[in-house]
Amino acid sequence: EDKVVQSPLSLVVHEGDTVTLNCSYEVTNFRSLLWYKQEKKAPTFLFMLTSSGIEKKSGRLSSILDKKELFSILNITATQTGDSAIYLCAAITSGTYKYIFGTGTRLKVLA
Amino acid sequence: NAGVMQNPRHLVRRRGQEARLRCSPMKGHSHVYWYRQLPEEGLKFMVYLQKENIIDESGMPKERFSAEFPKEGPSILRIQQVVRGDSAAYFCASSWDFLETQYFGPGTRLLVL
Most B-contacting residue of A99, A100, A105 (CB-CB within 10 A), to test interface: A99
pLDDT at A78 over 90: yes
From the CA of A98, how many Å to the nearest CA of chain B?
Answer: 6
pLDDT at B69: 95
Predicted confidence band at B2 (pLDDT cuts at 50, 70, 90)? confident
> Residue A54: CB partners within 8 Å, gap ≥ 6?
A64, A65
In this predicted model, what pLDDT tens digit does every residue of A83-95 receive, in sequence order?
999 999 999 988 7
Residues from B contacting A (CB-CB < 8 Å) are: 3-4, 31, 33, 35, 40-45, 48, 56, 59, 91, 95, 98-99, 101-107
Predicted confidence band at A1 (pLDDT cuts at 50, 70, 90)? confident
From the CA of A70, how many Å to the nearest CA of chain B?
Answer: 19
* Chain A contact set for B56 (CB, 8 A): 97-98
Mean pLDDT to the nearest integer, A10-15? 96
Cβ–Cβ under 8 Å, residues A60 and A47: no
In this predicted model, what pLDDT tens digit does every residue of B35-94 receive, in sequence order?
999 877 788 999 999 988 999 998 999 999 999 999 889 999 999 999 999 999 999 999
Predicted confidence band at B1 (pLDDT cuts at 50, 70, 90)? low
